[in-house]
Amino acid sequence: MSLPPEEASVRLVGGSTPSEGRVEILHAGRWGTICDDLWDLVDANIVCMSLGYASSVAALRNAPFGEGTGDILLDGVECYGNESSILDCRHGGIGIQDCHHDEDAGVRCSTSAVRLVGGKYPWEGRVEVFNAGSWGTVCRDNWDIDDANVVCRSLGLGEAIEKTTVVDYYQDYPDDAEVVDDIFLDEVQCIGNESILLDCPHSALGVHDCNHTQDATVTCNTGVRLVGGSNSLQGRVEVFFDGAWGTVCSHHWDINDAHVVCRSLGHTYALSASSYAEFGQGTGDIVLGGLQCTGGETNIYVCKNDDTNFFKCFHRMDAGVTCSPDDYAVFLVNGSTYLEGRVKVAYQGYLGTLCGTSWDLNNANVICRSLGFGHAVSVHGADDFGQGIGEIILDDIHCVGNESTIFNCSHSGLGVHDCNHSQDVGVTCYGEDVCITGLCERKETLNGRKI
């Protein structure tokens, strides 16, 4: 069927909120859908902006909001980003398509009037606000932690980090995004409990005495959250990307990746890494997949990833974690049994090894007993269980032998050492070769990867 083009209206159908849904356009008095061939964020932006939203946060395929009925009116949509209507974009012609309704396109539009641009990570950057169809910056005059907190909370990113909320000039965030000419806000004076930045007192919109070297920036506390768990220590891992929250595919997901997530949330280490949507399936985009963290990274955006099979990810493969409530943990890694290995410790957000200076059986006894085993049989150097990576947590350790944890022993101070990983220590404990503490899954190698 080929129909003559006419002016069309757009609506979103089937979403849980008015800002999301299956995209439908009105033609000749009837509503029809759009096929998801070539459907992307640029196309979704045009739909959202034509509906009065600032932008889109997700371009969704495969009828996520249910299958439509009637005609499929557009296929092969290719927008440049400056169109005023979806019909102004390139397409195969109204009514010309080779699709079924299980390919109906959907969008999720941004309800936020603020975004962060140009940061190294999605939770930091220059602050921009949306007004009358365009984006503009905020001048840093009077910019303080209360203003930054409103920005971060309005994006669901927790509190702001104070040290980065005031800058003398804009140099930390290279601007590889669109060029913004307007400065919309100046003299912002938030109390801190406002829901959006535009609710804060400020000079009249567009009135300022600034230039773009005075653009306000923020770094928010974290771009990771856990959703769907029975408490704050567990849940489906969601990450902030392109103004919205998305999930992580569990392809290659393991305990190292979970360690990084937990540490970025302020916990010491992970108890488990779960796959296949143990905490329920997420919605929206799947943002990351094929992660290959070593365990020592500050956040999962730093981790290497192999996204070769990313196209095979679905929300039934959403990754999750369970973090430990404890401040410390001890692991034995790279041993041939549970009774032996290089000593690996997690403490107050740090993950690393112990240096062999002054290492003896008294020290090893404390390690073995804290793991639920008997006394130490022998002590080892890095030659026996390999060198570790990451931090060296303790050096010059002197235990009496009856301490409950290695951290209760005399030492040079957390992170204070003059060692390298060729001096990493290990132990062999006496006891039955079974997992006692529940931490024994943390072998040093998993699928050939070091942790």
Asked if residue 450 lies in contact with residue 389, where contact means CB atoms within 8 angstroms, the answer is yes
What average pLDDT does range 90-95 have in this prediction?
Answer: 92
Asked if residue 11 lies in contact with residue 57, where contact means CB atoms within 8 angstroms, the answer is no
Hey, what are 3's tokens? 């129909």
Where residue 311 falls among pLDDT bands split at 50, 70, 90? low
Where residue 179 falls among pLDDT bands split at 50, 70, 90? low
Q: Is the pLDDT score of 93 beyond 80?
A: yes
Where residue 76 falls among pLDDT bands split at 50, 70, 90? very high
Per-residue model confidence (pLDDT) at position 188: 93
Cα–Cα distance, 182 to 53 (Å, whole number): 19
In this structure, the strands spanning 30-34 and 72-74 are parallel
Q: Is the pLDDT score of 344 beyond 90?
A: no
Does 22 or 172 have the greater pLDDT score?
A: 22
What average pLDDT does range 79-84 have in this prediction?
Answer: 87
**Mean per-residue pLDDT of the chain:** 84
Q: Residues 378-399: pLDDT tens digits?
A: 999 888 988 988 789 999 999 9
Hey, what are 409's tokens? 């022993």
Cα–Cα distance, 303 to 111 (Å, whole number): 30
Q: Is the pLDDT score of 119 beyond 90?
A: no
> What's the CATH number for 224-323?
3.10.250.10
Where residue 90 falls among pLDDT bands split at 50, 70, 90? very high
Per-residue model confidence (pLDDT) at position 175: 45
Per-residue model confidence (pLDDT) at position 330: 86
Q: Is the pLDDT score of 320 beyond 60?
A: yes
Cα–Cα distance, 17 to 35 (Å, whole number): 22
Q: Does domain 114-219 have CATH number 3.10.250.10?
A: yes
End-to-end CA distance of the chain: 58
Per-residue model confidence (pLDDT) at position 58: 83
347: three-class secondary structure by DSSP: strand
Among 226, 240, 317, 238, which residue's Cα sits nearest to residue 278? 317
Cα–Cα distance, 400 to 363 (Å, whole number): 8
| Domain locations along the chain | 10-109, 114-219, 224-323, 328-443
What average pLDDT does range 21-32 have in this prediction?
Answer: 92
Cα–Cα distance, 159 to 126 (Å, whole number): 16
Q: Say how many C-beta atoms besides its own lie within 10 A of residue 62's C-beta.
A: 13
> What is the percent of the chain with per-residue pLDDT over 90, rounded to a whole number?
41
Q: Is the pLDDT score of 441 beyond 70?
A: no
**Rg of the chain's alpha carbons, rounded to an integer?**
27
> What is the percent of the chain with per-residue pLDDT over 70, rounded to a whole number?
88
Asked if residue 427 lies in contact with residue 380, where contact means CB atoms within 8 angstroms, the answer is yes
Residues 6+ apart with CB under 8 A from 356: 381, 382, 419, 423, 424, 425
Strands (E), 151-265: 183-185, 217-219, 224-228, 234-241, 244-248
Partnered with residue 128 across adjacent β-strands are 115, 137
Q: Residues 226-272: pLDDT tens digits?
A: 999 999 899 999 998 877 788 999 988 988 899 899 988 888 788 88
266: three-class secondary structure by DSSP: coil
Per-residue model confidence (pLDDT) at position 261: 93
Q: Is the pLDDT score of 193 beyond 80?
A: yes
What average pLDDT does range 309-333 have in this prediction?
Answer: 83
Q: Residues 35-73: pLDDT tens digits?
A: 999 998 889 989 998 888 877 878 899 999 999 998 999
Per-residue model confidence (pLDDT) at position 195: 81
Hey, what are 224's tokens? 């990771």
Q: Say how many C-beta atoms besides its own lie within 10 A of residue 445's C-beta.
A: 11
Per-residue model confidence (pLDDT) at position 446: 32
- Architecture of the domain made up of 10-109: Roll (3.10)
Task: Determine whether 80 is exposed, middle or buried from the number of CB atoms within 10 Å of its CB (0-12, 13-18, 19+).
Answer: exposed
What average pLDDT does range 279-290 have in this prediction?
Answer: 86
Q: How is residue 367 annotated by DSSP?
A: H
Question: Could you write out the DSSP letters of every residue in 119-165?
Answer: -SSTTEEEEEEEETTEEEEEB-TT--HHHHHHHHHHTT--PBPGGGS
Dihedral sign of CA atoms 134, 140, 146, 149 in order: positive
Per-residue model confidence (pLDDT) at position 171: 41
Cα–Cα distance, 371 to 434 (Å, whole number): 11
Asked if residue 284 lies in contact with residue 57, where contact means CB atoms within 8 angstroms, the answer is yes
Question: Could you write out the DSSP letters of every residue in 71-99?
Answer: -EEE-S-B--S--SSGGGSB-S-TT----
258: three-class secondary structure by DSSP: helix
Cα–Cα distance, 235 to 238 (Å, whole number): 9
- Please give the single-letter amino acid code of residue 332: L
What average pLDDT does range 347-372 have in this prediction?
Answer: 88
Per-residue model confidence (pLDDT) at position 443: 44
Q: Residues 141-160: pLDDT tens digits?
A: 989 999 999 999 888 888 88
Per-residue model confidence (pLDDT) at position 35: 95
Please check whether the two domains, 10-109 and 114-219, share a CATH topology. yes
Among 33, 19, 109, 21, which residue's Cα sits nearest to residue 77? 33
CATH topology (fold) of 328-443: Mac-2 Binding Protein (3.10.250)
Hey, what are 77's tokens? 């949509």
102: three-class secondary structure by DSSP: helix
Cα–Cα distance, 27 to 5 (Å, whole number): 8
